[in-house]
Amino acid sequence: MRENPPVLILLPPSEGKADPEKGRPLDLERLSFPSLNGRRAELLDAAVRGRPARPAREIYTGVLYQALDLPSLPAAAQRKVVIVSAQYGAVRPADPIATYKRPIDAPAWRPLLGPELAKAAGRGAIVDCRSAAYLAAWRPEGAQAERWVHVGVVKEAAGKRTVVSHDAKRTRGELARQLLLAGGAPRTPAEVAELAARSMRVELEPPEGAGRPWRLTVVTG
């Protein structure tokens, strides 16, 4: 199996999912991060086992994924993406998964995801687009925490800023796409912000404390 490049983009799944009618049955041995297969098998129920498996990039169809448009990205760019999943723990866009419905049990996944995602993250910047529930499943530590950037979105109008939710997902997808198409491998939060600033208004703030991420805020309006 080809060695995965460092994680550049961490994504949550989407509530909206495709439910394909055709595809090979789910085979956990075909997924990335094989050490998660024990937990994956425990979570499988008849509904998931009976559904066809398709690449994760085709299964997740929410607003973020519509903006990101993973299928149109080069394979090398897609390999810089990891999706944290309640059903599968973590997958890459090409991994064939079956549609599911499940809230994440972050405490159960945390000890399993830690070693895998820390290894996958390598020495590059970690751009985190996850929501709070999925953020709790893995938080970078040590030197990796220093390269960890969490993406937020605010809307500015008449000098006032408000936090947005639905539109924020789309903006995160647009940001992820821009970073992936830019190529290269940013290693610092500053380099991530520099790439994002090519087409977006962004603000980079340092961590609020040890073990906390840098904050990259995209300002829309």
What confidence score (pLDDT) does residue 5 get? 52
Each domain of the chain, given as residue ranges in start order, spans 9-220
Residues in the chain: 221
- Give the per-residue pLDDT at 165: 76
Residue 65 backbone zone (phi > 0: left; psi -120 to 50: alpha; other: beta): alpha
Distance separating alpha carbons of residues 10 and 121, to the nearest angstrom: 10
Confidence at residue 7, expressed as pLDDT on a 0 to 100 scale: 63
Q: What is the pLDDT of residue 156?
A: 92
- Residue 57 Ramachandran class (φ > 0 left, ψ -120 to 50 alpha, else beta): alpha
Q: How far is CA 80 from CA 21, 75, 157, 163, in A?
A: 28, 9, 34, 28
Tens of pLDDT, residue by residue, the chain (221 residues): 444 456 689 999 999 999 999 989 999 999 999 999 999 999 999 999 989 999 999 999 999 999 999 999 999 999 999 999 999 999 999 999 999 999 999 999 999 999 999 999 988 999 999 999 999 999 999 999 999 999 999 999 888 989 877 789 999 999 999 999 987 788 999 999 999 999 999 999 999 998 899 999 999 98
What tokens appear for 104 in the block? 């994440």
Residue identified by tokens 């399993």 is 112
**What is the reported pLDDT for 221?**
85
Which residues on adjacent β-strands are paired with residue 202? 218
The pLDDT value given to residue 2: 46
pLDDT at position 3 is 46
